Amino acid sequence: MAEERVPVLETRKLGISFGGLKAVTDFNIQIFPGELVGLIGPNGAGKTTVFNLLTGVYAPTEGTVLLNGKPLNGKKTYQFVEAGIARTFQNIRLFKEMSVIENVKVACTKDLHYGLFSASLRTPKFWKTEKELTEKAMSLLEICNLADVAELPAASLPYGRQRKLEIARALATDMKVLLLDEPAAGMNPTETAELLTCINTIRDRFGIAILLIEHDMSLVMNVCERIQVLDYGQTIAAGSPAEVAANPSVIAAYLGE
Amino acid sequence: MNTFFQTLIVGLRLGSIYALVALGYTMVYGIIRLINFAHGDFIMVGGYTMIFVMPLMLRLGLPAWLGVLAAIVVCALVGMGTELIAYRPVRRKGTNMTALITAIAMSLFLENLAQAIPAIGPNPKVSSQIFGNGGFKLGTVTMEYTTVITLVISGIVMLVLYAFTQRTRLGRAMRCVSEDKAAATLMGINVNSTILLTFGIGSGLAAIAALMYMAQYPKVYTTMGALLGLKAFVSAVLGGIGIIPGAMLGGIVIGLVESFTTSYISSSMADTFVFLILIVVLIIKPAGILGKNVGEKV
Distance CA B271, CA B231 (A): 9
Report CB contact under 8 Å: A120, B175: no
Q: Can you give the pLDDT at residue A191? A: 85
Proportion of chain A above pLDDT 70, given as a percent: 92
ipTM entry: 0.72
Q: Is residue B277 part of a domain?
A: no
Question: Per residue in A220-241, pLDDT tens?
Answer: 888 888 999 988 888 888 888 8
Task: Find the CB nearest B188 among A96, A114, A173.
Answer: A173
Report CB contact under 8 Å: A120, B191: no
DSSP string, B106-167: HHHHHHHHHHHSTTT-SS-EEPPP-S-S-EEEETTEEEEHHHHHHHHHHHHHHHHHHHHHHH
| Spatial contact of A250 and A241, defined as CB atoms under 8 Å apart | no
Q: Can you give the pLDDT at residue A2? A: 47
- Report helix, strand or coil for A59: coil
Q: Is residue B171 part of a domain?
A: yes
CA distance B51 to chain A (A): 28
Question: Per residue in B113-128, pLDDT tens?
Answer: 999 998 888 888 888 7
- Report helix, strand or coil for B180: coil
Question: Within an 8 Å CB–CB cutoff, is residue A55 touching chain B?
Answer: yes
DSSP A46: S
Class of domain A9-84+175-255: alpha beta
Among chain A residues, the shortest Cα distance to B189 is held by A78
- Chain A neighbors of B156, CB-CB under 8 A: none
CA distance A219 to chain B (A): 25
CA distance A72 to chain B (A): 15
Q: Is residue B263 part of a domain?
A: no
Among chain B residues, the shortest Cα distance to A104 is held by B187
Which residue of B169, B179, B244 is the best one to mutate when testing the A interface, meaning the one whose CB has the most A CBs within 10 A? B169
Q: Give the global pTM.
A: 0.82
- Chain A neighbors of B167, CB-CB under 8 A: 130
Report CB contact under 8 Å: A78, B189: yes
Question: Within an 8 Å CB–CB cutoff, is residue A109 touching chain B?
Answer: yes
DSSP collapsed to 3 states, chain B = CHHHHHHHHHHHHHHHHHHHHHHHHHHHHHHHCCCCCCHHHHHHHHHHHHHHHHHHHHHCCCCHHHHHHHHHHHHHHHHHHHHHHHHHHHHHHCCHHHHHHHHHHHHHHHHHHHHHCCCCCCCCEECCCCCCCCEEEECCEEEEHHHHHHHHHHHHHHHHHHHHHHHCHHHHHHHHHHHCHHHHHHCCCCHHHHHHHHHHHHHHHHHHHHHHHHHHCCEECCCHHHHHHHHHHHHHHHHCCCCHHHHHHHHHHHHHHHHHHHHHCCHHHHHHHHHHHHHHHHHHCCCCCCCCCCCCCC
Diameter of chain A measured on Cα atoms: 68
Compute the average pLDDT of residues A195-201. 86
Among chain A residues, the shortest Cα distance to B191 is held by A78
Residues with pLDDT less than 70, chain B: 293-298
Report CB contact under 8 Å: A106, B170: no
- Chain B neighbors of A86, CB-CB under 8 A: 186-188
Report CB contact under 8 Å: A82, B186: no
Report CB contact under 8 Å: B172, A98: yes
Q: Is residue B256 part of a domain?
A: no
Q: Which amino acid is at B159?
A: L
Domains contained in chain B, number: 1
Report CB contact under 8 Å: B185, A95: no
Question: Within an 8 Å CB–CB cutoff, is residue A155 touching chain B?
Answer: no
Question: Within an 8 Å CB–CB cutoff, is residue A77 touching chain B?
Answer: yes
Q: Can you give the pLDDT at residue A210? A: 92
Which residue of B72, B186, B192 is the best one to mutate when testing the A interface, meaning the one whose CB has the most A CBs within 10 A? B186
Expressed as residue numbers, the domain containing B152 is 2-225
Average pLDDT, chain A: 85
Cβ pairs bridging A and B (under 8 Å): 76
* Residue A118 in this model has a pLDDT that exceeds 70: no
Q: Can you give the pLDDT at residue A41? A: 87
- Chain A neighbors of B184, CB-CB under 8 A: 106
Among chain A residues, the shortest Cα distance to B187 is held by A107
| Range(s) within chain A of domains with CATH label 3.40.50.300 | 9-84+175-255
Q: Can you give the pLDDT at residue A1? A: 44
- Report helix, strand or coil for B292: coil
CA angle A74, A173, B159 (to 5 degrees): 105
Distance CA A82, CA A79 (A): 5
Question: Per residue in A40-85, pLDDT tens?
Answer: 888 888 888 999 999 888 889 989 999 988 898 888 888 888 888 9
* Residue A173 in this model has a pLDDT that exceeds 90: no
Q: Can you give the pLDDT at residue A175? A: 84
